[in-house]
Structures are given as structure tokens and as C-alpha cells.
Amino acid sequence: MTHTDQRSPAKLVARQTRRNEHDIHAGDRLRVARRLAGLTQQQLADHLGVSFQAVQKYENGENRLAAGRLIKATQILGVNLAFFAGDESARGVEENQPDRFSAHELDLIRAYRALSDEALRTQLRRLVLTMAREAGTGDH
């Protein structure tokens, strides 16, 4: 009998039922933070001292992030613990945002964060907001 043959269907079901909406949400947020930081799953895994498969499982909500590893992830990714919270109040301005960003959106966010001059950041925000308003009204 092989090792995989020894796992009962009940154990597999028990493992699947441990996954809950908080695990899924935290995994989604981990993926967002990792992508915003411009890291691959392998790079994050190296920083956390785990395999990239473990990071995949965290991001899918299949495995839970232990408290110590979650805190280390916040430090690596430059986010706070509230970023991973499942309640609406902790998500703040992001509560109406989708949890997934396109590659283009991530490029813009990384570029914005790379601007060290606050005056440039302000100009960029104003430009994008003006463009969005004009696009929304049909004025081109």
C-alpha cells in the first residue's frame, strides 16, 4: 500500500472543510500584496523560508498562514495586518475594490510607489483623476 493509498476520504474531506472564507480572503490579500511588491511566489517563499508550493496553498486558502509567518509576510510585503483582515472596516478604501488587479494596474501602482517626490505623486493622482472624470462624462 502506498502512502497516498492510506489517506481516507474522511481525512481529505476534513482537510477541505478547514478552509473557510477567512483563509480564502487572507490568501487573496497575500496574492495582491505579493504582486504589488513585484515578487514571484518563489521570491516570497524564499523570504518566508517555505516552498513556493506553500505560498500557492496560502494564496488559494488551502493552507492557513500561521501568525508568525503572517507577521513576517507583512514586513516583507510592506502592508499591515489589517490588510489581511476579513471584516469590511479593516479593509477601508479597498472594500469596494476587486481583490485582483490586472498586470497593467499593478505596473501603475508600482510606478506610483516608486515616485519618492510627494509633489510628483500629487500631480500624477490629479492627472489620473482628471482623465477618469473626462472619460466618464464622454468629454474627450
Whole-prediction pTM: 0.60
Shared domain check, 119 and 85: no
Residue 94 has pLDDT above 90, yes or no: no
Q: How confident is the model at residue 17 (pLDDT cuts 50, 70, 90)?
A: low
* Grid cell listed for 107: 505596473
Burial of 62 (0-12, 13-18, 19+ CB in 10 A): middle
Shared domain check, 65 and 109: no
Shared domain check, 106 and 78: no
One-character DSSP codes across 11-71:
HHHHHHHH--HHHHHHHHHHHHHHHHTT--HHHHHHHHTS-HHHHHHHHTTSSPPPHHHHH
Residues in the chain: 140
Domain count, the chain: 2
Sequence-separated (6 or more) residues with CB below 8 Å from residue 51: 45
Above pLDDT 90, what percent of the chain?
A: 34
Average pLDDT over residues 98-120: 80
Compute the CA torsion angle 28, 34, 37, 41 (nearest 10 deg).
Answer: -150
Shared domain check, 114 and 125: yes
Shared domain check, 25 and 90: yes
Cα–Cα dist 87/111, whole Å: 29
Residue 120 has pLDDT above 50, yes or no: yes
